[in-house]
Homo-oligomer: A and B are copies of this chain.
Amino acid sequence: MTTENTNDPLVIFTPSGKRGHFPEGTPVLTAARQLGVDLDSVCGGRGICSKCQVEPSFGEFPKHGVTVADDALSEFNKVEQRYDDKRGLQKGRRLGCQATIQSDVVIDVPAGSQVHRQVVRKRAEARDITINPAVRRYYVEVEEPDMHEPSGDLERLRQALEKNFDIKGVDADLHVLQTLQPILRKGDWKVTCAVSTGITEGTGAEKPAILQVWPGYSETPLYGLAVDLGSTTIAAHLCDMTTGEVVASSGIMNPQIRFGEDLMSRVSYSMMNEGGAAEMTRAVREGMNALFTQIAIEAEIGTDQIMDVVFVMNPVMHHLFLGIDPYELGQAPFALCTSEALSVRASTLGLTIHPSARAYILPSIAGHVGADAAAVTLSEAPDKSEDLVLLVDVGTNAEIQLGNKDTVYACSSPTGPAFEGAQISSGQRAAPGAIERVEINPETKEPRFRVIGSEIWSDEPGFADSVATSGISGICGSGIIEAVAEMRMAGILDASGLIGSAEQVGTPRCFLDGRTNSYMLWDGSADGGPVISVTNPDIRAIQMAKAALYSGARLLMDKFGTDTVDRVVLAGAFGAHISPKHAMVLGMIPDCEIDKVTSAGNAAGTGARIALLNVAARGEIEEIVRNIIKIETAVEPSFQSHFVNASAIPNSSDPFPILGTHVTLPDVNFNTGGGEGGGRRRRRRG
């Protein structure tokens, strides 16, 4: 910026507060650019795109120390009039490229005119998303070829992009070159370009590139996809890259399921079948293309309008998607082929979207803590937290992060599938008919529950009717957690994980079931339905799972040098359904104020969306991930002792004082001297 002349009119932009003196006749857009005010323009000030709308204010502004005259801006000109006639300009609005400064003025840049507008997220603790996409539209007028100074059409297009938008050294894919000449002539040397603005830092670093050229001024929207590639489902959000709006969301089952339900069975499939990994790669890519087609149909766009796609996934899916055999992830030392972010052409991944579309895969944190965990980090920002946050994404593995703005630790812990209802006698996936909420009366030891698909508790009128369709089929992950916690609170279960007998507890719902006791939640046998009870092996499975989770968290707390955390964030679908109080009674998560335990929902998907919409977030998460201290639980001796302590409910060593202020756990012990648990008792008697 050249030296200001303070005799020139003063221009103050709101909401940024940026201000400066500019000679009379300076267009508002020019002043905004010179001051670095975030004012959009696709056409570079030619009065075509109308993205640079501003709202001047008039009168006295003691706060700013100026008085704005009614004629502080130039009169409404022909270009503005034409735009108003054609499309309607909101009252009080001006086009920033047409209105010129005449005297001191205060100018507001409405949200819609900002390039880097914010997408506000609902949760109070979540950061807003800044829109700063990798691909943007630019309108330029290109010089015609001149035999006196021969130069290529692309070179003159480059010059126009550099001159008008300061985009230097832009590349063009072959397919752009192949149609460039007729498009330039069709548009009479006026064209709109979709330009990937380039990334100067991080693994994804690449030169700016022209992805597409349209004749004339085009408002063709640019779309991007945020994809969460899970072992079970693939979910995608289609976003308008300019507004940040999610225009369609869709999901499909991961077609790899036919090769194995869980990750380890897929790793085994690849180990035991020549070409198995390649087969799974093909399957997931085909599924991906089917999903993209489906979502494009839903949004009524062509798949070739999708120009950017961001992926998050766990390490095994990461390798299988890229065509890397996941063999090494199945055995110590669990070496990833690459942990860094990957920036490639979508076409190299076999994706049939726009031919020049870019694909970005977030970095992985470690062998068991993948790009999906990195996306959770990006969404929940433990690295920016003032207080100490424990971030848990529960699946077959729990990915655990603990930290604040100074340091973040991460590890994964093998919780197994119990939290998903597997390995539980009456367990099932969360689906209609599954018991999801449980309460047990500590006096009567009688339970009541709710099933997915009905809002009515089982002891309330109308319950039978409300579940007539779904039936009561089993118990899902959140249901089993509540059941076990309620059993502990009602004195049906002791701290070691033993269910008492009918006599010990004083209810016929407890019954000898093989060599240990079970607790009956629901007997549907009269109607031909199932008997749903919680068995002692179920308790053992939950103990193992929650001990793995807790001891991972506890290990990170040791590393951090703390015994307490300020808050706990549960990510993922499971985290969204879990009851914080019950999780804490189980000793699944560390002792903490219950209202400080929150759910982040699909944080991995959100993280993918952030990386899609804000290209700067990519370099940012790469840097964050590099700085995360990775802990491998398998080589940490204290993990085992934490695990043993955490097998007790809630814990045989850690005190849980805050939980104690809310809940008093009965001091029962159902060990009759024959040993602690079913397994051991059996061995002694056998």
- Copy number in the complex reads 2
Residues of A361-389 whose CB lies within 8 A of B: 364, 366-367
Given contacts A145-B333, A630-B149, contact A338 B205 (CB under 8 A): no
Do the beta carbons of A152 and B322 come within 8 Å of each other?
no
Q: Is A460 an interface residue (CB 8 A)?
A: no
Q: CB-nearest residue of chain B relative to A347?
A: B348
Task: Please measure, in the bound complex, the distance between the C-alpha atom of A630 and the C-alpha atom of B327, giving whole angstroms.
Answer: 59
Q: How large is the interface on A (under 10, 10 to 19, 20 to 34, 35 or more residues)?
A: 35 or more
Given contacts A146-B333, A181-B328, A323-B174, contact A153 B338 (CB under 8 A): yes
Q: Is A207 an interface residue (CB 8 A)?
A: yes
Given contacts A144-B333, A150-B366, 7 further A-B contacts (CB under 8 A): A145-B333, A147-B634, A152-B337, A154-B340, A180-B324, A180-B338, A182-B325
Residues of A137-157 whose CB lies within 8 A of B: 144-155
Residues of A102-149 whose CB lies within 8 A of B: 144-149
Residues of A465-501 whose CB lies within 8 A of B: none
Q: Is A574 an interface residue (CB 8 A)?
A: no
Q: Is A593 an interface residue (CB 8 A)?
A: no
Q: Which residues of B contact A366 (CB under 8 A)?
A: 150
Do the beta carbons of A147 and B181 come within 8 Å of each other?
no
> How far, in Å, is A640 (CB) from chain B's closest CB?
15
Q: Is A339 an interface residue (CB 8 A)?
A: yes
Q: CB-nearest residue of chain B relative to A630?
A: B150
What string of 1s and 0s marks CB contacts (under 8 Å) between A154-194 and chain B?
11000000000000010010100110111000000000000
Do the beta carbons of B333 and A154 come within 8 Å of each other?
no
> How far, in Å, is A364 (CB) from chain B's closest CB?
7
Q: Which residues of B contact A169 (CB under 8 A)?
A: 205
Q: Is A632 an interface residue (CB 8 A)?
A: yes
Given contacts A322-B177, A323-B178, A328-B181, contact A335 B205 (CB under 8 A): no
Given contacts A338-B172, A340-B155, contact A324 B150 (CB under 8 A): no
Q: Which residues of B contact A207 (CB under 8 A)?
A: 205
Q: Is A344 an interface residue (CB 8 A)?
A: yes
Do the beta carbons of B635 and A147 come within 8 Å of each other?
yes
What string of 1s and 0s marks CB contacts (under 8 Å) between A344-364 and chain B?
100011000000000000001
Q: Which residues of B contact A178 (CB under 8 A)?
A: 322-325
Task: Please measure, in the bound complex, the distance between the C-alpha atom of A569 and the C-alpha atom of B672, giving whole angstroms.
Answer: 107
Q: Is A583 an interface residue (CB 8 A)?
A: no
Q: CB-nearest residue of chain B relative to A169?
A: B205
